[in-house]
Amino acid sequence: MGRLQTFDSTTVVQSARDVFWDLGYDGASLADLEAATGVNRSSLYHAFGSKRGLFDAAVADYRDTVIRPRLRGLQADGAGRPELIAYFDELREAVGRLPLDSPRRGCLLVNCATGLASHDEPAREVVEAYRTDLASALRHALAGAALAAADDRSDRTDERVRTLASLSMSAMLLARVNAAESAALLTTAADQVRAWFPAPPPATR
Amino acid sequence: MGRLQTFDSTTVVQSARDVFWDLGYDGASLADLEAATGVNRSSLYHAFGSKRGLFDAAVADYRDTVIRPRLRGLQADGAGRPELIAYFDELREAVGRLPLDSPRRGCLLVNCATGLASHDEPAREVVEAYRTDLASALRHALAGAALAAADDRSDRTDERVRTLASLSMSAMLLARVNAAESAALLTTAADQVRAWFPAPPPATR
DNA sequence: GTTATAGTGAAACGAACGGTACAGAACATT
DNA sequence: AATGTTCTGTACCGTTCGTTTCACTATAAC
């Protein structure tokens, strides 16, 4: 039928995603996106329609390749105390591992919350969906942990979900401002989980 | 010596502050600032030197007129449980009172955390100073509350400071995304304080 | 090989940006 | 009233923005 696309859409979207992650939607210029992807703007427009179209593709990729794997442990059947602790430990490790000038510091969607999402309804909905997903995953694992521990404070579940979601989001918010404090917030979250649910006896065989 | 300034600098700075609060530093154009302040750009440049100079003045005003009054109760001598609860109640009331499209939703400096502060060192320092001020004020009031309650969990102070600061910042982050959840986070913060410290007996005479 | 289709690159579009130059208006000083 | 300084409005500066146009090239189908 005609000439085939010479670039790989996935890698282009991921390169663009990192630019948006770093600079935000408004802050990322077409020149930045051309440089990062190695693709001319006319080809980007041909493939994605507009800057916004490319951004939407980048957000979709972010949800699929960054957020979803992170929450998977919490969402698994039988998830509970260990999965909660692992979630916060892994997130803290990721925050600490990145160099201070990494474009990937923080969370693309948390960054959107005070940017695009303030005055753009579709963007607001994406951020809200992220928050809901996070809260649901935490709630699921908290319920599992309470069940395993025969915890009698399940009336506190809403409080605990909000506390842990809060610590996660604040840590992402602070990732570029104070990386040490960002990590400390995630440590605090894991410590809270440990305090709420008694440590199980060490496994024997 | 010559003609006097015909506008009031304070009101101009506060008008500009609300524009930056709503749109962010990059999002606010000179045309927006002219319209909101009623002052021509040449006068703004004469008085403030640059867009950034006006922004810095707006941030200084924000710290003086918005943040400082909010934290004053927490910082007072003898502040404790009631001041902590009042802080979160008042903040929640402020979040709920504003219309959804108010330019003042959320926190100017929290908004900066993912914007300017990501790549501008002076802005980063201002946001970090805000965070340390908030944490210090919470710590002071938490210490007072622990003292009054003869609380034996003072080893948990760091955790509690981080939890409450986290809930405050997350609430500001979510103010434009989900006002109800933003208020719920602040309610949760007040509930945490109530749970940590036993309610004092009702005052008698 | 011809043809139709589709990706690519350079150049340029109008709009909006932050910032400035300058003439003139306004006021304190003399 | 004359003078000198400062504030203000218009108009424009060069730059950058997202987007589009168009000629060109490459390739699949025939």
- Domain annotation covers residue A140: yes
A167 and B163 within 8 Å at the Cβ level: the answer is: yes
- Domain annotation covers residue B152: yes
Query: What is the chain A residue with the closest CA to B187?
Result: A159
For residue range B54-83, list pLDDT tens digits in order.
Answer: 999 999 999 999 999 999 999 999 999 999
**pLDDT recorded at residue B154:** 77
Amino acid (1-letter code) at residue A81 = R
- Domain annotation covers residue A18: no
Exposure on the CB side of residue B61, measured as CA atoms within 13 A: 18
Is residue B183 pLDDT above 90, yes or no?
Answer: yes
For chain A, give the number of residues: 205
Report the percent of chain B where pLDDT is more than 70: 98
Instruction: Please give the C-alpha separations between residue A121 and each of A113, A115, A117, A128, B16, in angstroms, as whole numbers.
Output: 11, 12, 7, 10, 25
**pLDDT recorded at residue A153:** 78
Helix residue ranges, H only, chain A: 9-27, 30-37, 41-48, 51-62, 68-75, 81-97, 108-113, 121-148, 157-174, 179-196
Report the percent of chain B where pLDDT is more than 90: 85
**pLDDT recorded at residue A100:** 83
Q: How far apart are the first and last CA of chain A?
A: 64
For residue range B89-99, list pLDDT tens digits in order.
Answer: 999 999 999 98
Rg (CA), chain A: 20
Contact B189, B164 (CB under 8 A): yes
**pLDDT recorded at residue A2:** 64
Q: How far is CA B125 from the centre of its chain?
A: 15
B26 and A26 within 8 Å at the Cβ level: the answer is: yes
Provide the CATH number for the domain around residue B141: 1.10.357
Is residue B205 pLDDT above 80, yes or no?
Answer: no
Chain B contacts of A23, Cβ < 8 Å? 119
Is residue B151 pLDDT above 80, yes or no?
Answer: no
- Domain annotation covers residue A90: yes
- Domain annotation covers residue B86: yes
For residue range B35-50, list pLDDT tens digits in order.
Answer: 999 999 999 999 999 9
**pLDDT recorded at residue A81:** 96
Angle of CA points A183, A177, B143, to nearest 5°: 65
* Helix%, strand%, coil% for chain A, nearest 5: 75, 0, 25
Name the residue among A151, A153, A149 with its Cα closest to residue A201. Answer: A149
What is the DSSP-derived secondary structure letter of residue A79?
Answer: -
Structure tokens at B37: 């302040």
- Domain annotation covers residue B26: no
As a rounded value in angstroms, the CA-to-C1' distance for B39 and D27 is 60
Whole-angstrom distance, CA of residue B144 vs CA of residue B142: 5
Tokens 């753009």, located at residue: A120
B192 and A163 within 8 Å at the Cβ level: the answer is: yes
Conformation bin of residue B126: beta by default, left when phi > 0, alpha when psi is -120 to 50: alpha
- Domain annotation covers residue B142: yes
Range of the domain at B95: 60-196
Residues, CB < 7 Å to strand C: A 1-7, 39-43, 46-47; B 1-4, 6, 28-32, 41-42, 45, 50-52
* Helix%, strand%, coil% for chain B, nearest 5: 75, 0, 25
- Domain annotation covers residue B50: no
With bands split at pLDDT 50, 70 and 90, how would you rate the model's confidence at B101? confident
With bands split at pLDDT 50, 70 and 90, how would you rate the model's confidence at B1? low
| Number of structural domains chain B divides into | 1
As a rounded value in angstroms, the CA-to-C1' distance for B42 and C19 is 9
Angle of CA points B115, B120, B125, to nearest 5°: 95
Whole-angstrom distance, CA of residue B96 vs CA of residue B180: 8
> Which of residues 13 to 52 on B have a Cβ less than 7 angstroms from any strand D atom?
39-43, 46-47
Burial B57-73 (b: 16+ CB within 10 A, else e): bbbebbbeebbeebbeb
**pLDDT recorded at residue B149:** 86
What are the mean pLDDT values of chain A's consecutive 10-residue runs (205 residues total)? 78 95 95 93 93 96 97 96 98 92 91 94 97 98 92 87 98 96 98 91 69
Structure tokens at A124: 């607001």
With bands split at pLDDT 50, 70 and 90, how would you rate the model's confidence at B103? confident
Contact A171, A183 (CB under 8 A): yes
